């Protein structure tokens, strides 16, 4: 069965680091640049402030594995930083997480060197704070093997991965923080810096209503400082009304255009990889409908919930969004009229046919509940090629026939 992703908003590395810094977490210093000239000015400023002669240019996209795709480069002067940035900006970066289409780089982060060339005793760790749904608790997961894919570490070196479960009724305890620092093999100044880092990371996670904060690599420098060199943050989309300053960090260029259009029309939409588009009201009915589609021999092409306030406009917008997927072979509209009125949904279907034009794929409609009789009259008198269904079983049979036909 299809997996529906959590409602999250991803943000860029530089934005995640700004959240960490606001809670006293030490990070690899850097500034954003959107042109080669800005990249050179940033490098010059970093050289004045930190005395660094080496700079790291990082593509800012919502995907991991940037280094593997050429999205992280070293520059040894401000002029070279400008040259590297000019090549990186505008490029399509393909990483293991972007898929073959890749993502366009529109901005870069120019950061200072924190590896102190020529000095030893540098260590890279992994650390993340996330929600463990099986335990119904937050977990801090960490490893001595940072700088590489945590999935690979879990497969080849499971003994190198630790986790600390946090009591959901209380908070992160000091003894847990000390345990993490000890398990990472730290002592002295580095141990103390790590305890401060963990406390700040936890505070940032809770204060921002994040679903995930992942630091990889988490660096112990040669002079025993603890720094977040990279930062991946996913914010709970449902909490953004409490955080307008975080909501403003949304980068629509990094999101699926169809999902952005759905959000603008107050629709809950997630694209899947199937061949049957579905339009439903209510998340529970939507999940049941996707099960129905799967059992009928098809695969859901999307999750689309028009909500309780559906009207002709939102239904028309839903049709437009579903039909943008070239894989859709049929559309199932399954509405139970409780709050929503079935006759309004029927009006939206008719309006969609009029404004979109000839819809080539079969449309199966099941409307039950409030004003279902009026809705049937509207559909029947419209003259449209709509396939009516009365029950779940009936709808399943007609979806099966449509997909096979």
The alpha carbon dihedral of 260, 263, 267, 273 has a sign of positive
Torsion, Cα 341 342 346 352, to 10 degrees, reads: 60
DSSP states of 89-129: TT-EE--TTT-TT-EE---EEEEE--S-TT----EEEEEEE
d(CA 363, CA 403): 11
Residue 275 near residue 325 (C-beta atoms within 8 A): no
Residue 37 near residue 17 (C-beta atoms within 8 A): no
- Contacting residues for 47 by C-beta, under 8 A, at least 6 apart: 53, 78
- Contacting residues for 114 by C-beta, under 8 A, at least 6 apart: 28, 219, 221, 227, 229
Catalytic residue among 13, 14, 80, 126: 126
Residue 163 near residue 154 (C-beta atoms within 8 A): no
Establish whether 397 is a catalytic residue: no
Catalytic residue among 214, 269, 316, 353: 214
Burial of 139 (0-12, 13-18, 19+ CB in 10 A): middle
Burial of 156 (0-12, 13-18, 19+ CB in 10 A): exposed
Establish whether 126 is a catalytic residue: yes
Catalytic residue IDs: 126, 214
């Amino acid at each position: 069965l299809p997996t529906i992703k959590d409602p999250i908003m991803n943000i860029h590395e530089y934005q995640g680091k700004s959240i960490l810094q606001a809670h006293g977490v030490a990070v690899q210093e850097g500034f954003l640049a959107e042109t080669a000239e800005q990249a050179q000015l940033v490098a010059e400023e970093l050289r004045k402030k930190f005395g660094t002669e080496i700079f790291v240019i990082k593509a800012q996209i919502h995907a991991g594995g940037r280094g593997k795709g050429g999205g992280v480069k070293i520059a040894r002067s401000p002029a070279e930083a400008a040259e590297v940035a000019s090549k990186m900006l505008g490029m399509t970066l393909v990483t293991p997480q972007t898929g073959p289409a890749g993502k366009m780089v529109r901005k870069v982060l120019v950061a200072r060197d924190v590896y102190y060339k020529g000095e030893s005793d540098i260590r890279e760790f992994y650390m993340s704070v996330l929600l463990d749904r099986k335990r119904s608790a937050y977990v801090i997961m960490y490893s001595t093997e940072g700088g590489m894919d945590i999935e690979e570490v879990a497969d080849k070196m499971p003994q190198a991965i630790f986790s600390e479960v946090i009591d959901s009724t209380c908070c992160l305890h000091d003894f847990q923080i000390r345990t993490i620092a000890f398990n990472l093999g730290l002592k002295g100044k580095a141990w103390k810096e790590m305890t401060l880092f963990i406390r700040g990371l936890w505070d940032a996670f809770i204060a921002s209503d994040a679903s995930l904060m992942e630091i990889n690599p988490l660096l112990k420098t040669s002079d025993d400082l603890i720094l977040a060199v990279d930062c991946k943050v996913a914010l709970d989309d449902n909490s953004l009304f409490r955080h307008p300053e975080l909501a403003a960090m949304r980068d629509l260029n990094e999101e699926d255009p169809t999902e952005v259009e759905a959000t603008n029309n107050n629709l809950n939409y997630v694209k899947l990889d199937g061949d049957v588009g579905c339009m439903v009201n209510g998340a529970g009915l939507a999940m049941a409908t996707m099960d129905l589609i799967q059992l009928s021999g098809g695969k859901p092409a999307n999750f689309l919930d028009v909500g309780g306030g559906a009207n002709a406009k939102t239904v028309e917008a839903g049709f437009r969004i579903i039909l943008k997927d070239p894989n859709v072979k049929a559309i199932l509209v399954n509405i139970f009229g409780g709050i929503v009125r079935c006759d309004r949904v029927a009006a939206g279907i008719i309006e969609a046919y009029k404004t979109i034009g000839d819809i080539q794929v079969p449309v199966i409609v099941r409307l039950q509940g409030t004003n279902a009789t009026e809705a049937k009259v509207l559909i029947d008198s419209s003259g449209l090629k709509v396939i009516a269904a009365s029950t779940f079983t009936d709808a399943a049979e007609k979806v099966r026939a449509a997909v096979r036909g």
